[in-house]
Each structure stands twice: as C-alpha cells, then as structure tokens.
Amino acid sequence: MHVFLAFLYVSLAAAPGCWSLPTREESIKNTRHSIINIAQITLVHIKKLKTTLPVAQQTEPGTPPIEGLTGISRDLGLLDNELQNPFTELLSQIQADVSSLEGMVRFLAGTMDCPIQPKPRAETGDNVFPDSHHHLTVAKLQSYLEKFILHKDKLKVC
C-alpha cells in the first residue's frame, strides 16, 4: 500500500510539469522541425510523381538563394501559385504540401517578428504546353526544396 501511495504522490507531483504549455522557444523549434519534415515529405512526393509523368529532358531550373524567412515565404508563395495553375491538377498533393509549408513559414516569421510581405498574386495565363510546365514546375520545386533543406539554418533569421 505504501508503494502505491508513493507512486501516486510522485505521479501527481510530476504531472503539472508534464502538462504545461510549450514556451515560445519550444514552439519555434517545433515549427522549424515541422517545416523541415514537410519539405522532406514533399520531396518524396515529387520523386514519386516523377515516375508517373512522361519522360522529359532533364533541366536545371534556376532557383533563388535561401536568405531567410521573409524570402522563403515569398519564394514558396510563388511556387504555390505556379502549382495552382489549372493545368497542374496532377500535382494537387504537392501543391497542398507547398501551401502548408508556405503557411507554416509565414506563421514562424510572424512568431519571430519578421516582416512578412503579402502572398504574391497568382499569374493567370494560358499554358500551351502543360506537360512541359509540369516538368519545369516540379524540377524548380525539387531544386528549391533540396537547397532549402541544406540551408535549414536560415529558418532562424528573418
């Protein structure tokens, strides 16, 4: 009986520490971790998608440098807009990933009091060559996310 009471006392004494809300620093750290996880999952989705798209010539699209949360948010917003093109229905999961990633980066930037620009407006235009557009968009996104993961320390600066 004494063992049970001792266990109950220790459990109740330790419980408030276990149920506390995360600190701002813990929240920021968890958000950064989630952002990196989504980027890695998106790369897996891209690699899986590339096996279903018709084969196209390999292109290395230019991507902007990874400079900080403000730039990352802008770049992801532009990529999200490209993925929302009506011709990219095939890319719906990847578009959802990028949209989620962009939203989390915006949230993190706001949490860290970084200046946030409005989300770029989507350009409307007819795409005469949707397959080429798919390949270019996917290649650009893959290149950007690979570079982003390599420079994940930029999630700590505005």
| Radius of gyration for the chain, computed over Cα atoms and rounded to the nearest angstrom | 21
The full DSSP string for 122-145 is PPP---S-HHHHHHHHHHHHHHHH
For residue 7, pLDDT beyond 80: no
For residue 136, pLDDT beyond 60: yes
Residue range 135-141: average pLDDT? Answer: 85
Q: How far apart are CA 90 and CA 68, in angstroms?
A: 30
Go through the domains of the chain in sequence order and give each one's CATH number. Answer: 24-156 (1.20.1250.10)
- Reported as a single tens digit per residue, the pLDDT across 65-78 is 888 888 888 888 88
The pTM for the full model equals 0.70
- Reported as a single tens digit per residue, the pLDDT across 81-107 is 777 765 555 678 888 899 999 999 999
